[in-house]
Amino acid sequence: MPRIQPVMLVALACTSVVLYARVAYGHDYPTVDRVEFVLECMQRNDGKQEFLYKCSCVLDELAQKFSYDDFVEAGTAARYQNLGGERGGVFRDPPQTRESAKRYLQARNEAMKHCAVPR
């Protein structure tokens, strides 16, 4: 049986740690988008400091379920579904867009419940 060299063992261990970190923390979102999400969430909850952590928790939960591009697309669809007129039709009418928004809202509501964020 061939012997594994120490260098290969270290490389394998490092790769395992990196892969675990990616799985454990989900998709990476740009910092500015993380900050905007958390600040908006905190604002909806009277700007209380305790929601810094709770709203970050919500975003971490979403990042485990959505790639960044899917998060932006689904979040935008969910936000503008109720927009009136033709402009709102882009977010209301296509079945794929409606389904994406529905999935996002369900995931967000579950995350908010898990992270103790009331609204």
How far apart, in Å, are the Cα atoms of 43 and each of 11, 36, 63, 73, 91?
45, 10, 21, 22, 25
Per-residue pLDDT of 49-72, as tens digits, reads: 999 999 999 999 999 999 999 999
3-class SS at 84?
coil
Per-residue pLDDT of 5-24, as tens digits, reads: 544 434 444 444 344 444 44
CA distance 48 to 25: 25
**pTM higher than 0.85 for the full model?**
no
Report, as an integer, the average pLDDT of 95-105.
94
pLDDT at 10: 41
CA distance 85 to 114: 35
- The pLDDT-based confidence of 93 (bands split at 50, 70, 90) is confident
- What one-character DSSP code corresponds to residue 45? T
pLDDT at 36: 97
3-class SS at 22?
helix
Domain boundaries, the chain: 50-119
Contact residues for 45 (Cβ-Cβ < 8 A; gap 6+): 51, 54, 55, 117, 118, 119
